[in-house]
A and B are shown apart, each in its own frame.
Chain A
Amino acid sequence: MNAIYILWLRELKRYSRSRSRMIGSLGQPILFLFALGFGLGPVFQRAGQGNYFQFLGPGVIAMSILFTAIFGGIQVIWDKQFGFLKETLVAPVPRWQIMLGKTFGGATIAVLQGVVVLILATIFGFRPELGLLVLALTFMLLIALFFTGLGISIASVLADINGFQIIMNFLVQPVFFLSGALFPLNNLPKVISNITAVDPLTYGVDGIRGTLTGASHFGLAIDITVLLILVMIILTIGATLFSRIEA
């Protein structure tokens, strides 16, 4: 168990020492809040959907968690390339513990990032209800765990960083744009609605939106059940793939 802790700690130390990563990762959420919030807000309001910031806030929080988590998981490739991974792979510790430690570390950073974006969003006019804040944080943690685990799973099978761009463009971006982070899920064309229903992030966005603004599409019970199952599955897959790494 100490192994899980020290790997978690390492992720946090590396993050806290990387100013550029901390500041850089705020750029995208701010841009989305600014451009979409002010740009689409009036249309949204006219369509009778209310204040767009109120809708967009949870979406942008989920977005920042998604990107931070995937990026954190993908770090395993750098560990491979810079050699440090070997140090952890020869240690007398079950590999799944190493994988879990990394996942918890990456997920913790992603949740912290989500909280920072939550605070930023309030500056733009997002007004969350804080009664279910603990539950909202739970949803944030679940998507953080899922996507960090996904990042580690992908990194475990990639030989080097060359495949990273493909992953970003063909996996992470679609997951974000088709999650209901930016648009409401009701009255969607059938195709889109089916795709959003199989997008894991959809349930995270819906859960965060439901807890912070009271407007949930699927209901919090469904959201949390789906995410819990997905997290279990991805951690099992990730631990298995990570255990198979050869250096």
Chain B
Amino acid sequence: MPDAIVEVSHLTKRFGDFTAVNDVSFSVARGQIFAFLGPNGAGKSTTIKILTTLLNPTAGEITLNGFDALHDKDNARKSFGIVFQDQSLDDELTAYENMEFHAVLYGINTEVRKKNIHELLVLVELWDRKDSLVKTFSGGMKRRLEIARGLLHHPKIFFLDEPTQGLDPQTRNHIWHYVKNLSEEKGVTIFFTTHYLEEAQEYAQRIAIMDHGNIITEGTLEDILKKTGEKTLEAAFLKLTGSDIREESASSLEAMRRHRQMRGH
């Protein structure tokens, strides 16, 4: 791809003898909104954790914003922001302190820090709650704060792993409003996963569908609809991934525990 900001080639991740990501290759163009879809357990979060340097792959190569994400980690890390699938705020700190913590870790100097924090907390409508402890926040407020925090260091790529999961339609709408603006005005590349297929249908410029660790299709919405002969993304998705129910995997920690028990450790 001419101007790819995310390039993944032959990525594989095994946990023991279970293959969570199986020789996956794809790329995302700079400035694009990219939807990464798939049923529970497909391997989406695992892929995102590897892309964001949290997990080491078993094999494969990754380039983020021109940096080798496996060897030049710090430069790769500066290039992206992330909202994880599971909450990752410090509940015992205030909203402002969570933002400040992030800013210091990313080396943002005091003046820029104050300005950026103010701007972002206003954007996600949390400025008036900036001094409240995060443990007093609702799920939607926490999500908005995580989005603000992820943008604090002006990343070029923004990873959002199920950012709207479990939120009411109003909050989801707001979140998509910020994200879309970000893409249009700042040219930030958006890489998101969701189970609300209408979000992908409406906002994504390119879609990849993953199942059992493999990317089974990739293209624009039109490509995928044409290929499957369906009228909606949801129908195409079900056609491609089958209709049997996948168990919701608990947090990766729990998965690890189960995995160990299975193997008799």
Bitwise interface map of B from 71 to 92 toward A, beta carbon under 8 Å scored 1, else 0: 0011101100010101111111
Q: A90-B54, A92-B78, A92-B106 are in contact. Are A83 and B88 (CB under 8 A)?
A: yes
Query: In the complex, which residues of chain B have a beta carbon less than 8 angstroms from the beta carbon of A13?
Result: 92-93, 97
Q: Once the chains bind, are A92 and B90 in contact (CB under 8 Å)?
A: no
* Docked pose: A3 CA to B104 CA in angstroms: 6
The residue from B84, B89, B107, B260 contacting A92, defined by CB atoms under 8 A apart = B107
CB-CB contacts of A79-100 with B at 8 A, as 1s and 0s?
Answer: 0111111111111111000000
Contact indicator B54/A10 (Cβ below 8 Å):
no
**Nearest chain B residue, comparing its CB with the CB of A244:** B56
Closest-CB distance, A98 to chain B (whole angstroms):
8
Instruction: Rank and list the top 9 A-B pairs by shortest CB-CB distance, nearest first.
Output: A91-B105, A92-B77, A83-B88, A6-B104, A92-B74, A247-B54, A92-B78, A86-B88, A87-B88
Q: How many contacts A-B (CB < 8 Å)?
A: 79
Residue from B54, B92, B101 in contact with A6 in the complex, judged by beta carbons closer than 8 Å: B101
Residue B165 lies at the interface, judged by CB distance under 8 Å to chain A: no
Tell yes or no: B245 within 8 A of A by CB: no
Query: A90-B52, A92-B107, A246-B56 given as contacts; is B90 within 8 A of A84 (CB)?
Result: yes
Contact yes or no, A82 B91, CB < 8 A: yes
Q: Which of A13, A81, A87 has the most CB of B within 10 A?
A: A87
Q: How large is the interface on B (under 10, 10 to 19, 20 to 34, 35 or more residues)?
A: 35 or more
Bound-state CA distance A10–B134 (Å) is: 14
Closest A residue by C-beta to B101: A6
- Judge whether B55 is part of the interface by a CB distance below 8 angstroms: yes
| A91 and B257 contact, Cβ closer than 8 Å, known pairs A83-B87, A86-B88, A246-B56 | no
With A and B bound together, what is the CA distance between A83 and B260 in angstroms?
Answer: 21
A-B contacts, 24 of them at CB < 8 A, read: A3-B105, A5-B104, A17-B133, A82-B91, A83-B89, A84-B90, A86-B54, A86-B88, A87-B101, A90-B52, A90-B53, A90-B54, A91-B77, A91-B105, A91-B106, A92-B73, A93-B74, A94-B74, A159-B253, A159-B256, A160-B253, A246-B54, A246-B55, A247-B55
**Cβ proximity bits B239-265 to A, threshold 8 Å, 1 near / 0 not:** 000000000000011001100100000
Report the contact-size class of chain A (Cβ under 8 Å from the partner). 20 to 34
16 further A-B pairs in the complex, CB-CB below 8 A; given A18-B92, A90-B52:
A2-B104, A6-B100, A14-B90, A83-B86, A83-B88, A84-B90, A87-B90, A87-B101, A89-B54, A91-B77, A91-B105, A92-B106, A92-B107, A93-B74, A159-B256, A246-B56
Chain B residues whose C-beta falls within 8 Å of the C-beta of A17 in the assembled complex: 92, 133
Measured in the bound complex, the distance between the Cα atoms of B105 and A88 in whole Å is 8
Asked, given contacts A10-B93, A13-B93, whether A90 binds B256 with beta carbons under 8 Å apart, the answer is no
Q: How far is the CA of A94 from the CA of B100 in the complex (A)?
A: 19
Residues in A whose Cβ lies below 8 Å from that of B102 = 87, 91
- B49 to A247, Cβ gap below 8 A? yes
Q: B252, A84: Cβ atoms under 8 Å?
A: no
Closest to A17 in B: B92
Contacts of A246 in B (CB 8 A): 54-56
Complex Cα gap A160–B256 (Å): 10
Give the residues in chain A near B256, CB-CB below 8 Å: 159
Q: Is the CB of A84 within 8 A of B77?
A: no
Closest to B90 in A: A84
Contact with A along B100-117 (1 / 0, CB 8 A): 111011110000000000
